[in-house]
């Protein structure tokens, strides 16, 4: 009797995270177990697409791979086209999913990075087990992803979660082209804007180079009163913005990335003082505010989570 043929291996997930300074490509099982990954600097559009395809080839995607791609907006996620994100100059109308499936077969999905990161923290990180979770990037800018009733809520044109556009004051630092916005107050770019006068005074006018949020945080940790004041104001504005989210969406968890992960000790007290004053008491009591958990793995996990989500492979608590 002839031997039975070996069963075909299930399709692998290939996650592709495209950032302004670096990219990552990872291979995982359908349940999200990472088997291998590569990272490399982002270069020109044509060169970076070539590097992505070469990395996928080396990872041996097998037959009918499942691609998840995370990248900044704007994009046409339904058609898998990247449409000129600000952090990717020259990436105009790039059909990234067609590039991947045309070379390797299978199917793929594109998602904006904030939504993808929300899925990653929900699948693998701080939000595991929740059904109502909000993720805020809180990095160079302030974007968000909404997990509501155990599903990602993307909105009518994939713009749900853009809380950085909230106006918190009539005037103030500029974020998303809007003075006094949530992003203007609560982002690396906004902190740098508000730190200019502090930096000039600290250098006695001798140094007019741009200052970074990391530098301000380091000075605050060393007891510099001006730097502490900047982070105290950031914490207060963070509480103001989160109160709007809590009152409107009543989440059980808000996960804060990047700057909050590093600077929670500077931000949490002023944030909570404002939240206790501004947010509805029962809604605030029902919501935990926590730092993101995935760290350097966030980009890889976000791209893998895009494919898992589209496959309907949801966390158990969300089924």
Mean pLDDT of 292-306: 94
Tell me whether the omega of the peptide bond preceding residue 74 falls within 30 degrees of 0, making it cis: yes
Question: In 10 A of CB 5, how many CB atoms?
Answer: 6
Query: What is the C-alpha separation between 100 and 140, in angstroms, rounded?
Result: 29
Give the dihedral of Cα atoms 174, 176, 178, 180; nearest 10 deg.
Answer: -50
Q: Is residue 269 scored above 90 in pLDDT?
A: yes
**Domain 126-293, CATH homologous superfamily name and number:** ATPase, nucleotide binding domain (3.30.420.40)
Pick the CATH number of 13-112 from 3.40.50.300, 3.30.470.10, 3.30.420.40, 3.40.50.1470: 3.30.420.40
Mean pLDDT of 72-95: 93
The phi, psi pair for 205, rounded to 5°, reads 75, 0
pLDDT score at 7: 46
Mean pLDDT of 255-275: 97
- Looking at the chain, the whole-number percentage of residues with pLDDT higher than 90 is 82
Whole-model pTM: value is 0.91
Per-residue pLDDT band for 201 (boundaries 50, 70, 90) equals: confident
- Fold match between domain 13-112 and domain 126-293: yes
pLDDT digits (tens, 9 = 90+) for 133-151: 999 999 989 999 999 999 9
DSSP letter for 132, please: S
Alpha helices, H only, the chain: 45-58, 96-104, 113-124, 182-185, 188-194, 196-202, 213-221, 225-249, 259-278, 281-285, 298-310
The full set of domain ranges for the chain reads: 13-112, 126-293
């Amino acid at each position: 009797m002839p031997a039975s043929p070996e069963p075909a291996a299930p399709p692998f997930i290939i996650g592709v995270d495209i950032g302004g300074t670096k990219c990552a490509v990872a291979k995982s099982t359908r349940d999200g177990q990472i088997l291998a990954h590569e990272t490399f600097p982002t270069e020109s559009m044509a060169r970076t697409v070539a590097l992505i395809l070469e990395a996928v080839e080396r990872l041996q995607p097998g037959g009918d791979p499942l691609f998840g791609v995370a990248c900044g907006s704007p994009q046409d996620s339904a058609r898998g086209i990247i449409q000129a994100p600000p952090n990717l100059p020259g990436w105009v109308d790039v059909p990234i999913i067609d590039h991947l499936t045309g070379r390797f077969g299978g199917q793929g999905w594109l998602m904006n990075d904030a939504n993808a990161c929300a899925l990653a923290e929900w699948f693998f990180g701080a939000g595991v087990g929740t059904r109502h979770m909000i993720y805020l990037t809180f990095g160079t800018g302030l974007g968000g992803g909404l997990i509501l009733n155990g599903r990602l809520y993307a909105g009518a044109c994939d713009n749900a979660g853009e809380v950085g556009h909230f106006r918190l004051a009539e005037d103030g630092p500029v974020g998303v082209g809007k003075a006094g916005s949530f992003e203007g107050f609560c982002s690396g770019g906004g902190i740098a804007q508000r730190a200019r006068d502090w930096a000039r005074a600290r250098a006695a006018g001798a140094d007019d180079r741009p200052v970074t949020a990391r530098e301000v945080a380091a000075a605050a940790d060393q007891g510099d009163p001006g730097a502490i004041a900047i982070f105290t104001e950031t914490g207060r504005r963070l509480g103001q913005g989160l109160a709007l989210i809590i009152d409107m969406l009543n989440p059980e968890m808000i996960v804060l990335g990047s700057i909050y992960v590093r600077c929670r000790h500077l931000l949490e007290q002023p944030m909570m003082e404002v939240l206790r004053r501004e947010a509805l008491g029962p809604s605030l009591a029902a919501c935990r505010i926590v730092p993101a958990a995935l760290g350097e793995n966030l980009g890889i996990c976000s791209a893998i989570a895009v494919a898992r989500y589209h496959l309907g492979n949801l966390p158990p608590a969300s089924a």
